Amino acid sequence: MDKRFYITTPIYYVNSLPHLGHAYTTIVADALARFYRLQGYEVFFLTGTDEHGDKIAKAAEAQGKTPKQFVDEIANTFKETWDKLGINYSYFIRTTSDKHKRVVQHVLQTLFDKGEFYLDEYEGNYCFGCERFLTPKELDEKGLCKDHKAPPVYLKEKNYFFNLEKYRGWLKDYLSKTEVIYPSFYREEVLNLLEEPLPPLCISRPKIRLSWGIELPFDKDYVTYVWFDALLNYLTGIGYPDDPSWQDYWANSHHLIAKDILRPHAVYFPIMLKALGIPMYKKLFVHGYWLMGSLKMSKSLGNIVSPLELSQTFGVDQVRYYLLRDMAFGYDAEFSLPNLINRINADLANDYGNLVNRTLSFLERNFGGTIPPWGELTPEDREFREKVERGIIRYLEEFPRLNFHTALEELWQAIRFANVYIDREAPWTRVKEGNYQRAGTVLRNIISAIKSFALALYPVLPNSSLTLLSALSVFPNTPSVIPSEASTLSFKDLFNWELPASGTKIKRCGPLFPRVDEEKILKEEQKVEVKKEAEVKEEPQYITIEEFRRIDLRVAKVLFAEKVAGADRLLRLEVSCPEKRQIVAGIAEYYEPQELIGKEIIIVANLKPAKIKGLVSEGMLLAAKDADGLAIIIPEKEKEPGAKVG
Ligand code: ME8
């Protein structure tokens, strides 16, 4: 079969429960898989979990579980979440499976035999969040990992390395001549990165430091690096190297990721493939972040939205629609409950749901729910058909380009026009006049358009589309929600105005998208927030070692101190850390400025700068307070300014 479509999501780390960011990528993959199935493609949709590495071993330890127990539980939670969100994947891959281990060891041995790896000692800044050594460019001005906002750990180790630099010229050339990375600004980002020599990739971890990984087949003292293991899942999933059909899927492979993991996918993976003699994947689709406020939603920042809770409150289709409609693929988008509610009420309940409800109940009341025969078509009927067809064509063009928001907007213009058409042609007036033929023609035109909307929207709104198509008896045997049974659906029927046929009896279906009471939901949300805050106050809150590590405590030397004019409680300090910074502290009641000059203090160096009385404060000093007053914390022995406290 030449029409194949292979789509993958990243395999998610099991140190975190599925959140809205993971759900977004997986829903996009599911929507694309459904879209291509309806275009007649044989689709393979792969998702799964990334279960090796430091992070996972530590997360298991923190919960007092063995890594195996821990990964089994979380992998199941991912599967359950995807099932509840109606994700119809073909295969769920786990990197701890024997099948995957065999592939990884096969690849490691092949590349070792080809002389691609060498043993070397390496020292540098290691970020446990990224699971790799960082280059100086990947650190911010405070020396923190830009992505995890956490200080890296300095490590010195003997390890196996892969000389990426050898392939830089090839990759640069390949990427500049092809459009494998989409949107193109991510391709530019990678090409920029390839302007500089590539550091060798450390592909192993010594077993004495980390045993939770796949053993190197050529050196039992080491396990392989988590990214080397993880990226190969895309090959394992389709049966590489034994199942001959893997190559057919590989020739049509599309990988969805967010920008956080661009480098492994756009640099390491292509080079691994090249070294193995496997052709480059077909496309890398890169999206932006779902943000909360201005921050990336992530487990480490603790600002996550649960996709399950959202879908339980609002409905699976509603959440899918919002995510695809409100993010322009490639760019960041801010999650907003009011926007989600507005999309449900305005687009789904009002425009689409209302069109369906009023059309079908009118048919029920006046035509006994049976599709009437056509009368003669007027120019208005033809204009309507044209607009509907144009909307669908634009939708079909934009969808595979991953411009879901534009695709849906195009389709909605047609849906909104259907509401205008029904108002203009007013079948209810025709019925009052006794002109059932004209009323019936308008109605049929709209019902056929509704069938096309439901069919086109199946990748986005699978549940309501199936309910509706089944009510329209277009696919009489289609059960309402079992996706695999929807294999009879095909986009071929999108422009067929004869469906549903005359005489077809339409079944009743309740409101597809009930309106959401915005005020009630937002009030409940506030109550939950207040409750959460109260819980925070009442219960002891433990933090993990990772969370503690994110606080960058440093020794700082006070170079200068003075009172802040017009603020009795504030002192302005200039400190060396060793770079010069200004700190505004509420300690004027307890210390005279001159007492502090020359003293060493401890500061939180990665606190977000804040303006206090018009002065920028770049950190916070530590002090202890009791009934007798306040005492600043000083190191017991003199330490270099900037020395790390931990
Ligand atoms: O990186 N907005 O796993 P991971 C949008 N195991 N998407 C988001 C997101 C957000 N705020 N947060 C996460 C890993 N994602 C590796 C991948 S693949 C061979 C190995 C989504 O659990 C997005 O798809 O950290 C992102 O790339 C992925 O989750 C990272 O998942």
Q: What is the pLDDT of residues 31-65, one digit of tens each?
A: 999 999 999 999 999 999 999 988 888 888 888 99
Residue nearest to atom 30 of ligand 1 (CA): 12
Report the pLDDT value the prediction gives residue 447, as an integer from 0 to 100.
97
- Closest ligand 1 atom to Cα of 296: 11
Q: What is the mean pLDDT of residues 198-223?
A: 93
Report the pLDDT value the prediction gives residue 477, as an integer from 0 to 100.
46
For the stretch 165-209, pLDDT in tens is 999 999 999 999 999 999 999 999 999 999 999 999 999 999 988
Give catalytic status of residue 145 as yes or no.
yes
Report the pLDDT value the prediction gives residue 322, as an integer from 0 to 100.
98
Looking at domain 336-493, its CATH architecture is Orthogonal Bundle (1.10)
Pocket test for ligand 1, best of 30, 93, 257 (most atoms within 8 A of CB): 257
Distance 93 CA to ligand 1 centre (A): 16
For the stretch 329-377, pLDDT in tens is 999 999 999 999 999 999 999 999 999 999 999 999 999 999 999 999 9
- Closest ligand 1 atom to Cα of 289: 2
Percent of the chain with pLDDT over 70: 94
Distance 12 CA to ligand 1 centre (A): 6
User: Which among 541, 538, 532, 577 has a CA at the least distance from the CA of 558?
Assistant: 577
Report the pLDDT value the prediction gives residue 379, as an integer from 0 to 100.
98
User: Which among 573, 485, 545 has a CA at the least distance from the CA of 151?
Assistant: 545
Choose, from 142, 166, 274, 299, the residue flagged as catalytic.
299
Number of C-alpha atoms within 13 angstroms, CB side, residue 567?
16
Q: Are 460 and 321 in contact (CB under 8 A)?
A: yes
Q: How far apart are CA 502 and CA 506, in angstroms?
A: 11
Confidence of residue 628 (pLDDT cuts 50, 70, 90): confident
Q: Check whether 300 has a pLDDT greater than 70.
A: no
Distance 455 CA to ligand 1 centre (A): 30
Least confidently predicted of 128-132, 290-294, 408-412, 493-497: 128-132
Confidence of residue 484 (pLDDT cuts 50, 70, 90): very low
Question: Residue 242: what residue type?
Answer: D
Confidence of residue 475 (pLDDT cuts 50, 70, 90): low
Residue nearest to atom 31 of ligand 1 (CA): 12
Q: Are 275 and 268 in contact (CB under 8 A)?
A: no
Distance 88 CA to ligand 1 centre (A): 19
Give catalytic status of residue 509 as yes or no.
no
Does residue 509 or residue 6 have the better pLDDT? 6
Residues having CB closer than 6 A to ligand 1 are 10-13, 21-22, 24-25, 50, 230-231, 233, 257-258, 260-261, 289-290, 296-298
Q: Check whether 263 has a pLDDT greater than 60.
A: yes
Give catalytic status of residue 148 as yes or no.
yes
DSSP per-residue codes, 490-522:
-GGGGG-TTPSPTTPBPPP---SSPPP-HHHHH
Distance 23 CA to ligand 1 centre (A): 10
User: Which among 210, 206, 203 has a CA at the least distance from the CA of 228?
Assistant: 203
Q: What is the mean pLDDT of residues 487-493?
A: 81
How many whole angstroms from its chain centre is CA 627? 49
Does residue 381 or residue 538 have the better pLDDT? 381
Confidence of residue 292 (pLDDT cuts 50, 70, 90): confident
Report the pLDDT value the prediction gives residue 411, as an integer from 0 to 100.
98
Give catalytic status of residue 130 as yes or no.
yes
User: Which among 425, 486, 436 has a CA at the least distance from the CA of 461?
Assistant: 486
Does residue 182 or residue 608 have the better pLDDT? 182
Distance 14 CA to ligand 1 centre (A): 11
Choose, from 79, 101, 106, 127, the residue flagged as catalytic.
127
Mean pLDDT score across all residues of the chain = 91
Pocket test for ligand 1, best of 17, 25, 28 (most atoms within 8 A of CB): 25
Does residue 605 or residue 567 have the better pLDDT? 605
Does residue 526 or residue 292 have the better pLDDT? 292
Choose, from 55, 148, 149, 287, the residue flagged as catalytic.
148
Domain(s) labelled CATH 1.10.730.10 in the chain stretch across 336-493
Distance 6 CA to ligand 1 centre (A): 19
Q: How far apart are CA 556 and CA 602, in angstroms?
A: 6
Give catalytic status of residue 299 as yes or no.
yes
Burial per residue of 249-288, b for 16 or more beta-carbon CB atoms within 10 angstroms, e otherwise:
bbebbbbbbbbbbbbbbbbbbbbbbbbbebebbebbbbbb
Give catalytic status of residue 127 as yes or no.
yes
Percent of the chain with pLDDT over 90: 67
Tokens, residue 41: 């493609």
Report the pLDDT value the prediction gives residue 363, as an integer from 0 to 100.
97
Q: Check whether 147 has a pLDDT greater than 90.
A: no
93 phi and psi angles, rounded to 5 deg: -95, 140
| Four-residue CA torsion sign, 261, 264, 265, 266 | positive
Distance 329 CA to ligand 1 centre (A): 15
For the stretch 533-575, pLDDT in tens is 555 444 455 777 777 888 889 999 998 888 888 788 889 999 9
Domain(s) labelled CATH 2.40.50.140 in the chain stretch across 546-645
Does residue 251 or residue 531 have the better pLDDT? 251
Least confidently predicted of 137-141, 202-206, 451-455, 521-525: 521-525
- Closest ligand 1 atom to Cα of 233: 19
CATH superfamily of 546-645: Nucleic acid-binding proteins (2.40.50.140)
Report the pLDDT value the prediction gives residue 478, as an integer from 0 to 100.
44
Report the pLDDT value the prediction gives residue 148, as an integer from 0 to 100.
80
Q: What is the mean pLDDT of residues 470-489?
A: 60
Give catalytic status of residue 255 as yes or no.
no
Residue nearest to atom 10 of ligand 1 (CA): 21
User: Which among 349, 371, 367 has a CA at the least distance from the CA of 451?
Assistant: 371
Residue nearest to atom 18 of ligand 1 (CA): 10
Q: What is the mean pLDDT of residues 446-463?
A: 97
Q: Check whether 476 has a pLDDT greater than 50.
A: no
Q: How far apart are CA 256 and CA 265, in angstroms?
A: 10
